[in-house]
Chains A and B, each alone.
Chain A
Amino acid sequence: MDNDKALRFNHRMSLKKVFSKYGSFYLFLLPAIIWYAIFAYYPMTGIIIAFKKYRYGLGVFGSHWVGLRYFKEFLADPHFYEIIRNTVVISLAKLIVNFPAPIILALMFNAVSAKIFKRTMQTVSYLPHFVSWVVVAAIIQKFFSPTTGLINDIRVSMDLKPIYYLGQKNLFLPFIVLSDMWKGVGYGSIIYLAALTGIDPTLYEAAEIDGANGWNKLWHITIPGISGTVGIMFLLSVGGLFGANMEQILLLQTPATFDVSEVIDTYVLKRGLNMNQFDYATAVGLFRSVISLALVVTANYLSKKFSEVSLW
């Protein structure tokens, strides 16, 4: 007991010492702390309207409590299963296809020795990241519109019937996944390229002396070298599993694909802004956040248990 006290005392002393020595540097943290407090944590207090009948005049704190009413309503909503299914399907498809894509691209870049070609390709692959989804959706429409799209113009010139591509339920998922990949794969590869530069080059030299071919080096040096980064990125992606990119889906969905495209985030937006049900929409959003948190915690626990990778 006395030892514990002594340790805590020493710890306090050391903190005091740290602050007296580096205190001024800690001031640099203040802007970030203030920013997070004002723009990230304070707005979070609005979550309580998920448990209240929100009235403009009474405000977030003055509105009356209704308990779990909106959560129960959401669970009983006829759209509930459809929305959950769409959210999971779209997010899983993105995870399965688009999670490995930047890793593969980074490995490909890493294998290219012609510097000019490599840099050009890297730049070209990053650029779509900086194009907003509004523009991406407009480009897709310019290609695939049934009346004014390039592809259908070609079809019509060949006496073929135009196809409403964005109105095909079976094409919605490929559109979402592939446009997401086009936009994010280059930018996503940056972090893996950074991880690749951290691998000790002498390992490759030693492997070459031992007679390893390119495939052997990839399998035994490169992939293990970036596995920690891959693990962390995967855990972070799991947290986003219930967030399927509202902006992208909203811009690309059509009435014909509502059945397969309505996800939690688009539903929240429509209920909140279009139907003026901010309280209900907040409850649905909170429902999503809680599931996402549970998923990250579970994935992190499992990862920690079975490997060395974990977020905390």
Chain B
Amino acid sequence: MKKVVSILLSIMLLSTFAACGGKKVNSNSSKTGGVTTYIFLNCWNGGAADFPDGWDKSPLVAELAKKTGVKLKVETITSSEKEKLATVFASGDLPDITNAPYWSTDPGGEGELIKNAAVDGLILPIKKYIDKYPNIKRMYQEGIVSKTYLDKDINNKEYEGEIYVIPTQTPRTKDDVTNWAYNLFCRKDILASLNIKSESITSTQAEYDLMKKIKDGNFKDINGKPVIVGSTWHDGWNYADFLRGFGTGNVTGWSKDSSGKLVNDRFTQNEIDKVLFMRKLVSEGLFDPECFTQTDTQAKEKIVTGRVAMFGCHYPNEYGFLKGTLYKDHPEMEYVPLGPILNEKGEVPAQISTDGRSGSPVLFFSKKIKNPEKALGFVDYINSDEGLKLVTFGIEGTHYKMDGKVPKYTDEWNNIRATDDTKFKLAGFGLAGNFVGADPRNGWGWNPDYSEAGYVNARKVSPLKFIDYKTADDVVNTWPGKKAYDEKMSTYNYDDELKKAYLAKSDADATKVVEEVRKRMKAAGYDEMVKYLNDEVAKDPKVLN
């Protein structure tokens, strides 16, 4: 009897163990009643704001599902895009559709991860489908994406003629290029209290003097806590705006020395001056030393109460977050752009844009995706005139009305859009930023954000400049030794080293960081690279630096 009981117990235990394993659920696309559900990964740190809980129950999404037969189950991330991509690719378990950064296929970038995954056969090749989808096909046109981007990254030579990614957030014409209005922003009431006009801060010295005055001014946030003079959003983004005065005005990280030869910026005195300036801000208590490693939440906790007097950012990001929070009850604490702070040549720094975008977010599909044509049809529909109108303005009569040929939000939705980003995205409007490429909406005069007074002003401070010729970086990328050079430099993270320098005990320690990178670059073959570059530039002096 004892034996029988023990055997039964063993079997029960084993069954329990087996049950713990759970039924294998197919995590990928499922189909119900003619509607296919795809898993969509929004691979952007903080991208969850585009898809608040319940967004998929909105009429807009229902309408989209009716038109395309596609629904999305969205995954978002709060950590680094690179880490997420590395994890997804290493596991081989790709979501059906992903939107992720494709800035560069150079080593260490997100682009390299995506390129490797494509070459290794994890990503769906889409060249054979593209001709059937005119709205997707448009996204690959030169002028919409730059020739360099097209040659180097979209049609990467390692793809052997295949195409794996769809570029998104690209403009259709120059009128459609987004001016993100990167700037150094300061609280308006603090400037008023100090009797300083934002446009008077045009030099590094003026910026420094302002920061000193803010520190001495005993300013407080909405809770009565003393302000942090200078800080940033997550992971130090974008402290570079504090260094605008050291900008070279060049398109690339290459400058001409006194003899007219191109040298990498890291070999210039300007690089050291820039590092020492940042260290000075930190050591004098004018800049938040922990902002380089703070999370998105920690950054927002500081900024949402007006605790930070100055930060670097682009306009849509700060306005999108603050309009429904700090500005609601404290409009006097609005952040306004300073400057323009002139660069080292005394010029207004510009946002440089190539003829067509030279790096972009991209969509790509898992090799294992079911019914890829349906997924591509979904993307194509969103990029049609009808689809663009739907994801941008919602449903006619509910969210917008036509004003002649131009759709205009109703007063209610215009107000929600201006003041409550979560409610706006809950209606499904977050889809637009993830699936649209060759985007004509700004040029069509559709997007009222562009007429928002603060944005107009911030764009004036931070103008756009177009370039339409190959750059020194393009030339360097053709250097035969580039791959070996990149491999030798791949263990070196200059951004981390710079942060060490800003927090160093002394100027000498900070300077050592730059000297160390110079040594490593030379050991990796910098001298040969720079010789090649200058030889090529001598043959084609039009190359932009």
Q: Report which A residues bind B (CB closer than 8 A).
A: 24-25, 27-28, 30-31, 34-35, 55-59, 77-79, 141, 145-148, 153, 156, 161-162, 164, 166-167, 254-256, 258-259, 271-278
- Asked if A146 and B290 make an inter-chain contact with CB atoms under 8 angstroms apart, the answer reads yes
- Asked if B13 and A56 make an inter-chain contact with CB atoms under 8 angstroms apart, the answer reads no
Q: Which of A79, A145, A148, A255 has the most CB of B within 10 A?
A: A255
CA distance A28 to B92 in the complex (A): 34
B507 within 8 A of A: no
Q: 10 other contacts beyond A25-B6, A275-B490, with CB at 8 A cut-off?
A: A28-B10, A57-B119, A57-B120, A78-B520, A147-B288, A147-B302, A161-B285, A258-B500, A275-B108, A278-B86
- Asked if B112 and A256 make an inter-chain contact with CB atoms under 8 angstroms apart, the answer reads no
Per the CB 8 Å criterion, the residue count for chain B at the interface is 50
Question: Which chain A positions have C-beta within 8 A of B292?
Answer: 254-255
- Asked if B290 and A254 make an inter-chain contact with CB atoms under 8 angstroms apart, the answer reads yes
- Asked if A167 and B112 make an inter-chain contact with CB atoms under 8 angstroms apart, the answer reads no
- Asked if B116 and A276 make an inter-chain contact with CB atoms under 8 angstroms apart, the answer reads yes
| Distance from B215 Cβ to chain A, minimum over Cβ atoms (Å) | 11
CA distance A164 to B503 in the complex (A): 10
Residue ID in chain A nearest B520 by CB atoms: A78
CA distance A271 to B17 in the complex (A): 36
- Asked if A24 and B6 make an inter-chain contact with CB atoms under 8 angstroms apart, the answer reads yes
B139 within 8 A of A: no
Given A56-B92, A255-B496, A258-B496, CB of A276 within 8 Å of CB of B82: yes
Question: Which chain A positions have C-beta within 8 A of B491?
Answer: 77-79, 271, 275
- Asked if B10 and A147 make an inter-chain contact with CB atoms under 8 angstroms apart, the answer reads no
Question: Which chain B positions have C-beta within 8 A of A166?
Answer: 290
Contact partner of B499 (CB less than 8 A), chosen from A27, A255, A272, is A255
- Asked if A272 and B86 make an inter-chain contact with CB atoms under 8 angstroms apart, the answer reads yes
Given A162-B285, A255-B293, CB of A276 within 8 Å of CB of B86: yes
Question: Which chain A positions have C-beta within 8 A of B228?
Answer: 147
Mark contacts of B1-43 with chain A using CB atoms, 8 A cut-off: 1 yes-contact digit, 0 otherwise.
Answer: 0010011011101100100000000000000000000000000
Given A55-B116, A56-B89, A77-B491, CB of A256 within 8 Å of CB of B82: no
- Asked if A274 and B122 make an inter-chain contact with CB atoms under 8 angstroms apart, the answer reads no
- Asked if B503 and A167 make an inter-chain contact with CB atoms under 8 angstroms apart, the answer reads yes
- Asked if A56 and B87 make an inter-chain contact with CB atoms under 8 angstroms apart, the answer reads no
Question: Which chain B positions have C-beta within 8 A of A167?
Answer: 289-290, 503
- Asked if B3 and A274 make an inter-chain contact with CB atoms under 8 angstroms apart, the answer reads no
Question: Which chain A positions have C-beta within 8 A of B289?
Answer: 146, 164, 167, 254, 256
| Distance from B464 Cβ to chain A, minimum over Cβ atoms (Å) | 32
B502 within 8 A of A: yes
CA distance A80 to B119 in the complex (A): 32
CA distance A259 to B503 in the complex (A): 12
11 contacts between A and B (CB under 8 A): A55-B116, A56-B92, A78-B520, A146-B288, A146-B289, A153-B225, A254-B503, A256-B503, A258-B496, A274-B82, A277-B490
Given A31-B17, A56-B116, A258-B496, CB of A24 within 8 Å of CB of B86: no
Given A145-B290, A273-B83, CB of A57 within 8 Å of CB of B122: yes
